[in-house]
Amino acid sequence: MTHFHRLLEQATTWLAEQTNIDQKLKDAIRCRLVFRHEFLSALDQDLEVLETRSTKNFESCISQLEPLTESVSLGKPVPEAFSLKIQRKLASTVPPRPMVQIASDDALAHLKRLCQDAIDMQQMLDYRGPSNFKVCTCGNEFDADVNMYARLLYGLCFLENPNRLSTFAAFSRH
C-alpha cells in the first residue's frame, strides 16, 4: 500500500468520525475519497494487469460516479483557488494558453469514458491475430478511437508474447 493510499484511508476514517458535518456533505466527500483510492489503485496495477486481468478498480470507479454526479450541486465554485499567474510559472516554456473551463457534467462524462475504456481495453490483451483484433475492437463499439487505442497498447499487447509483433505489424499497415 502506498503512502497516498494510507492518506486516503486516514481521511475516510477521520471523515466517518466527524459529527458536525452534514450527512449529505460527508457522503459526497466519502464518495470522492473512495473514487480517488480506487482510481489510484487501478493506475497502480502497472504490468500486474497483464497477469490479473482485473478491472475491479475501474468498475468501482464507475460505480462511484453516479453518487459523485448527484452531489456536484453541494459544492460551489472557488475561482480564486486557481491562479493563472502560478499556472504560467508551472507550465512549460511554450507560450501560455488560455485556461480551459470544462463543465462538471462534461468532465464526469469524460471520466466515465476513461474508466470504461480502461475496462474495454482489457480485451485487447487477448489478441491472437488480425481477425481477433478486429472482433475485439469492433465488437465493443470502439469508434474513431480504435487507432489511438491500438497505438497506446501496441507495446503492452506484446509483452506476453513478442511473436505477435509481426502479425500485428502486418495488420496495422492495412
Residue 46 inside a domain? The answer is yes
Q: Same structural domain for residues 142 and 107?
A: no
Residue 84 inside a domain? The answer is no
The CA distance from 160 to 174, in Å, is 24
Residue 66 inside a domain? The answer is yes
At residue 128, the 3 state secondary structure works out as coil
Residue 12: exposed, middle, or buried by beta-carbon count in 10 A (0-12, 13-18, 19+)?
A: middle
Q: Same structural domain for residues 26 and 107?
A: yes
Domain tally for the chain? 2
Of 78-82, 137-141, 161-165, the one with minimum mean pLDDT is 137-141
The CA distance from 69 to 104, in Å, is 8
pLDDT tens digit sequence for 88-108:
777 666 666 676 778 889 999
Residue 167 inside a domain? The answer is yes
Find out whether 28 and 101 touch, Cβ atoms under 8 Å.
no
- Specify the pLDDT at position 173: 43
Residue 141 inside a domain? The answer is yes
User: pTM for this structure?
Assistant: 0.66
- Specify the pLDDT at position 135: 45
The CA distance from 156 to 7, in Å, is 31
Residue 80 confidence (pLDDT) above 90: no
Q: Same structural domain for residues 106 and 30?
A: yes
Find out whether 12 and 30 touch, Cβ atoms under 8 Å.
yes
Share of the chain above pLDDT 70, in %: 63
Residue 142 domain boundaries: 127-174
Over the chain, what is the mean pLDDT?
75
Place of cell 500486474: 48
Residue 53 inside a domain? The answer is yes
Close Cβ partners of 104 (under 8 Å, ≥ 6 residues apart): 72
- Specify the pLDDT at position 62: 94
Find out whether 67 and 27 touch, Cβ atoms under 8 Å.
yes
Q: Which residue has the higher pLDDT, 63 or 78?
A: 63
